[in-house]
Amino acid sequence: MKPYPRHPGQVATVLAGPLLALMIIFAVIHGVWPLFPTWPSGLSAWLAGVLLWSRTPRRQRVQVGVLAVLGLAGLFWGWHNGGPMDTAALIDQNHALLSMLAAVSFLRLVSMPDASEDETLPGGGHAYLRTLVGMHLFGAAINLSAVVIIGDRLARQGTFDKRTAILISRGFSSAALWSTFFAGMAVVLAYSPGAELPILIAVGLPLAVAGLAYTYAEALVTDPSRLAAFSGYPIHFKSLWIPGLLAACVLVTHIFLPHWSVLTVISLLAPVLTFIVLGRRRGCRRAVAEVWRHVNLRLPEMSGELLLFLAAGVLAVGLASVVASFDEWLPFADFTGTTASMILVVMVGLAAVGIHPIISVTVVATWLAPIHPDPTLLAMVFLMTWGIGVASSPLSATHLTIQGRYGIESWRFFRWNLSYCLFMLALGAVLLHLYTWLL
């Protein structure tokens, strides 16, 4: 039998993984059977967060601490001025979206883009486009893992320059506009209850395609010589059938079981489908071993997201108490396409100066709650903020990962992606107005 780890950090990791698995299980049970309380899932998340605190980068711990303090201060201030003291919500505020993020991570076991080390890399403009689309699709399925996998292979070939960095930045960030497996979608569905998922995908996917087309056209016009010499990643799109099947199952389940939240459906189907595929490929015993290994080693790697979303939940509870204490105060008379576009520009601007989208989404969702905005329109704004804001922010996880692994300063992305972000903002505003016009 493998000896029990003695180092405190190892012990924390071993315990945190099963706690996060329990978080998923409890959240799914509540989603299927609403009489089951939410606090077991929330408590599991908080216990895991406490255990993983020491392995989170110091800069992020400071940010988490500031958010939590602001949230608690808002809660007590609002309570003192007549607002609610909802202490129970402090425990389970973001448990559903955290459960979805943890559940989706299991897809890495069956959806990794495979390319052998001795495989010939495609070259030229066609390879650039194929790698851009592949980065987008695999990023939509396995999130930040795709950045590292594809980036490492390109870096080994000596092709990781400005054009490659832009490809990864835009290809990955634009997936947040529509992917049901992205953190952004989890946040949006949690803070815009009632939003229509098919409409969100129908609007976000064309916007993402436009962003990819803009990136490819820009490379053709501004850097044709480097584009001709580009060595791409030999992406095998057959690996995408599993995320595609899961997405189809999610949509079908949402249609036939509309009382189940999308977060619940994804949290249930992602691990189940992963286990079924692993079982067919490698046998039940091997599947159990790989899933258990993922629980113990990979789930604790989401410590940064875990703590950030827990702190954002505290901030949301505090803001709700503050807003409730204002009685009849309303920010706008109504929520129109023009209002939505203005808020989108402000939120992307905040992301560009380093404010994480989860923070601005939390604030805006609470701020606008009294006027009961159309949830689908609000969700569009939040998804666009995430997809465009990540590309503009020097402090996004994507750009910090590129800086840490490949030596390209993250602040460069603000300048490199400025015209792209302006194009996406303009097109996003058109789509927001079009949606309100068609209502």
Which residues are paired to 123 by β-bridges?
231
Its pTM stands at: 0.76
Q: Which of 103, 102, 18, 22 is nearest to 296 (CA)?
A: 18
Q: Which residues contact 127 (CB under 8 A, 6 or more apart)?
A: 121, 230, 231, 232
Contact predicate 309/191, CB 8 Å: no
Sole residue written with tokens 């929520």: 335
Q: How far apart are CA 411 and CA 396, in angstroms?
A: 10
Sole residue written with tokens 């501004």: 222
> The tokens of 125 are what?
């403009």
Q: What are the tens digits of pLDDT across the range 23-36?
A: 999 999 999 999 99
Alpha-helical runs (H) found in 174-324: 183-191, 197-222, 224-228, 241-256, 262-282, 284-293, 303-324
Contact predicate 28/267, CB 8 Å: yes
Backbone torsions φ then ψ of 436, nearest 5 degrees: -65, -30
Q: How far apart are CA 87 and CA 328, in angstroms?
A: 24
Q: How far apart are CA 331 and CA 147, in angstroms?
A: 39
pLDDT at 286: 93
From the CB of residue 147, how many other CB atoms can be counted at a distance below 10 Å?
A: 25
| Cα four-point dihedral sign 315, 320, 326, 331 | positive
Which residues are paired to 231 by β-bridges?
123
SS3 content of the chain, % helix, strand, coil (to 5): 80, 0, 20
pLDDT at 356: 77
> The tokens of 3 are what?
């000896």
Hey, is 396 helix, strand or coil?
coil
Q: CA 120: distance to chain centroid?
A: 32
One digit per residue, the tens of pLDDT, for the chain of length 439 reads 344 444 445 666 679 999 999 999 999 999 999 999 999 999 999 999 999 998 888 877 887 898 899 989 988 888 888 777 778 888 988 888 789 878 888 887 886 665 555 555 567 788 889 889 988 988 887 777 778 778 877 887 666 788 889 999 999 999 999 998 887 888 898 899 899 999 999 999 999 999 999 999 999 998 788 788 787 776 666 666 777 787 788 878 877 888 888 788 888 998 999 999 999 988 999 999 999 999 998 899 888 878 888 888 888 888 878 877 765 566 677 899 999 999 999 999 988 887 778 888 988 898 888 888 999 999 999 999 999 999 998 878 788 778 877 878 888 999 999 999 999 999 999 999 999 998 7
> The tokens of 271 are what?
């691990």
Q: Which of 156, 198, 158 is nearest to 178 (CA)?
A: 198
